[in-house]
Amino acid sequence: MKWKTLEAINDACADLRHSKEGCMFYQNTNEWRHCPDTLALRDMIFSEIQDIEDLVPLGKSLGICPYYASREALPIAEVVTLPYQYLLSESTRSSLQINLENSIVIIDEAHNLIETINSIYSSQISLEDLKNCHKGIVTYFNKFKSRLNPGNRVNLLKLNSLLMTLIQFIVKNFKKIGQEIDPNDMFTGSNIDTLNIHKLLRYIKVSKIAYKIDTYNQALKEEESSKNENPIKETHKKSVSSQPLLFKVSQFLYCLTNLTSEGQFLKNYSIKYMLLEPSKPFESILNQAKCVVLAGGTMEPMSEFLSNLLPEVPSEDITTLSCNHVIPKENLQTYITNQPELEFTFEKRMSPSLVNNHLFQFFVDLSKAVPKKGGIVAFFPSYQYLAHVIQCWKQNDRFATLNNVRKIFYEAKDGDDILSGYSDSVAEGRGSLLLAIVGGKLSEGINFQDDLCRAVVMVGLPFPNIFSGELIVKRKHLAAKIMKSGGTEEEASRATKEFMENICMKAVNQSVGRAIRHANDYANIYLLDVRYNRPNFRKKLSRWVQDSINSEHTTHQVISSTRKFFSMRSLNSR
């Protein structure tokens, strides 16, 4: 049986260890830790550099769990590699006994570090989750109350009244999406504020009550559905390895017990705790380690890291280093248009003339200028905008015209996977055009190397939705912080503008970085919006992109320079 997520693997391991039979490869005892086979596997771990997959056959042959044996090796290990989610959570670090004191911490692929910290320390619970959890506890309690000891009974009753308070709060107060709430209001008028949530959380963890409630309720459901002669299909059965709902509730309650000025709540028939100061949880790493290295291919704009992650670190203690790309200079050209019609602001981007004439013509010309065997990948700022463009082109014969020059593949929300079709089409050398979304399935983690992408186009500036509830709260928090520290309104507004620009330009760097994946690769980048000429946007491009900006500006110049670029390449490859 294969488990698809890390969470499911952890749960399956926990299930087996806590089952009657236990896991034959591990026991949580000193005897197991000191038995010759455990020590032998632990020592083998040091014989050469190996990852956990390499240790599996060794563990199998000795009958020892490689994961727990490698944990035994931690105290004397000099180099430890681990997913950075483990590093970033203080509680996980301490449960793994990872001591950062005096160590050098290297965080690779750090471009997503801030988002990862935010998601580790944020939590959301919906009305439906709370209701289901409440119902599950009531059913379990009613069935087993005569067999439960007094401590269990009291804790379950307390847990239920806490859930009821949260349910009533959401039902009573929900007004509009994105509304901020004061966490203290949640318990006003109830006697819940006298309840020790820490104790309840400890009870949930130690008693394994979450698994018991889940297993009982699941069995009831299956029994009921078999009575109805309408058995739950195998695929709809809840996997024994998925997290009990009470764990999700616990995570949320944990956030409730750790309220600080950097947390805020939103609601949308759900309550969300959102971390607003990622620098706070990162502080403990900075304080303990001797030196922290943040490394990544798309770290620009770096100001985002300085202000969000390292605001308290003196500038003389920070060294930044930006390297050139490994490719020779002549393997990359970046074009920024200066054609005023090509401006994709919110007000102008729907213009029929922009979509049907300028944008369409650019793609037709580019499709002809780039050799057919090389694919073109274009990133659009949102699913809605790409859908609008496709719809406009389909209403007349433009879509078919462009499709005749290059086969078009485009991303749609909840659409099928288009990457394999596009890759096959490129491999056949038929001339292919992939229209993708910034922040969509294809903008990160996929290598468009060699012929998969000889031209990458960024259509417009992918600003995030300013009406998103989360961003409203983040901007307000940032402005309030600046005003509180003596800043002016103008400084606050500059900072929030910069915050939005950073999100946008980070997404641009991420997307254009999909092309050119090795030293002999070559491609062109097209930044299709006059606003890219402004210094505030330009300086936030990755250094290697900035260094390759070409001086050709009109669409006509750009296309003829593109032809020259590719004809030089074909001459050189002869």
Of 408, 526, 363, which Cα lies nearest the Cα of 458?
Answer: 526
Going by DSSP bridges, is the β-strand pair 291-294/407-410 parallel, antiparallel, or unpaired?
unpaired
Is the Cβ of residue 23 or residue 495 nearer to ligand SF4 in the bound state? Answer: 23
How is residue 105 written in tokens?
A: 């911490």
For the CB of residue 289, give the shortest distance to ligand SF4 in the complex, in Å.
Answer: 29
Is the Cβ of residue 25 or residue 265 nearer to ligand SF4 in the bound state? Answer: 25
Is the Cβ of residue 13 or residue 39 nearer to ligand SF4 in the bound state? Answer: 13
- Assess contact for 271 and 265: CB atoms under 8 A: yes
For the CB of residue 65, give the shortest distance to ligand SF4 in the complex, in Å.
Answer: 3
Which span (65-73, 99-107, 379-387, 545-553) binds ligand SF4, by CB under 6 A? 65-73
Q: Distance between CA 559 and CA 402 in Å, rounded?
A: 16
Which span (11-19, 84-92, 519-527, 562-570) binds ligand SF4, by CB under 6 A? 11-19
Is the Cβ of residue 66 or residue 301 nearer to ligand SF4 in the bound state? Answer: 66
**Contacting ligand SF4 within 18-47 (CB under 6 A):** 23, 25-26
Which span (13-21, 429-437, 458-466, 517-525) binds ligand SF4, by CB under 6 A? 13-21
Backbone angles phi, psi at 391, to 5 degrees: -60, -45
For the CB of residue 208, give the shortest distance to ligand SF4 in the complex, in Å.
Answer: 16
Window 363-402: contact mask with ligand SF4 (x via CB under 6 A):
----------------------------------------
For the CB of residue 506, give the shortest distance to ligand SF4 in the complex, in Å.
Answer: 36
Is the Cβ of residue 62 or residue 114 nearer to ligand SF4 in the bound state? Answer: 62
For the CB of residue 55, give the shortest distance to ligand SF4 in the complex, in Å.
Answer: 11
Q: What is the residue type of 476?
A: K
Is the Cβ of residue 65 or residue 479 nearer to ligand SF4 in the bound state? Answer: 65
Query: Using the rule CB under 6 A, is 16 a contact of ligand SF4?
Result: yes
- Apex 388 CA angle, 383 and 389, nearest 5: 100
How is residue 447 written in tokens?
A: 């290598």
Angle of helix 197-207 relative to helix 245-257, nearest 10 degrees, comes to 150
Q: Work out the number of other CB atoms within 10 angstroms of the CB of residue 257.
A: 11
For the CB of residue 28, give the shortest distance to ligand SF4 in the complex, in Å.
Answer: 9
- Assess contact for 271 and 125: CB atoms under 8 A: yes
Residue the block writes with tokens 């606003």: 531
- Give the residue, chosen from 44, 65, 201, 418, that forms a contact with ligand SF4 under the rule CB under 6 A: 65
Of 381, 369, 357, which Cα lies nearest the Cα of 527?
Answer: 381
How is residue 208 written in tokens?
A: 């394994």
For the CB of residue 38, give the shortest distance to ligand SF4 in the complex, in Å.
Answer: 12
SS3 80: coil
For the CB of residue 53, give the shortest distance to ligand SF4 in the complex, in Å.
Answer: 13
For the CB of residue 262, give the shortest distance to ligand SF4 in the complex, in Å.
Answer: 35
How is residue 60 written in tokens?
A: 């199998």
Backbone angles phi, psi at 107, to 5 degrees: -110, 110
Query: Using the rule CB under 6 A, is 17 a contact of ligand SF4?
Result: yes
Size, binding site for ligand SF4 by CB under 6 A: 9
- Give the residue, chosen from 11, 38, 45, 68, that forms a contact with ligand SF4 under the rule CB under 6 A: 68
- Assess contact for 507 and 462: CB atoms under 8 A: yes
Is the Cβ of residue 14 or residue 148 nearer to ligand SF4 in the bound state? Answer: 14
Query: Using the rule CB under 6 A, is 13 a contact of ligand SF4?
Result: yes
Is the Cβ of residue 58 or residue 105 nearer to ligand SF4 in the bound state? Answer: 58
Q: Distance between CA 470 and CA 468 in Å, rounded?
A: 5
- Give the residue, chosen from 8, 32, 37, 67, that forms a contact with ligand SF4 under the rule CB under 6 A: 67
Calculate the CA 118 to chain-centre distance: 10
Q: CA dist 280 to 263, 273, 276, 490, Å?
A: 11, 15, 9, 26
Of 79, 100, 78, 75, which Cα lies nearest the Cα of 89?
Answer: 100
Of 335, 395, 355, 394, which Cα lies nearest the Cα of 408?
Answer: 394
For the CB of residue 241, give the shortest distance to ligand SF4 in the complex, in Å.
Answer: 11
Kindly list the residues in this chain that would bind ligand SF4 in the complex (CB under 6 A). Answer: 13, 16-17, 23, 25-26, 65, 67-68
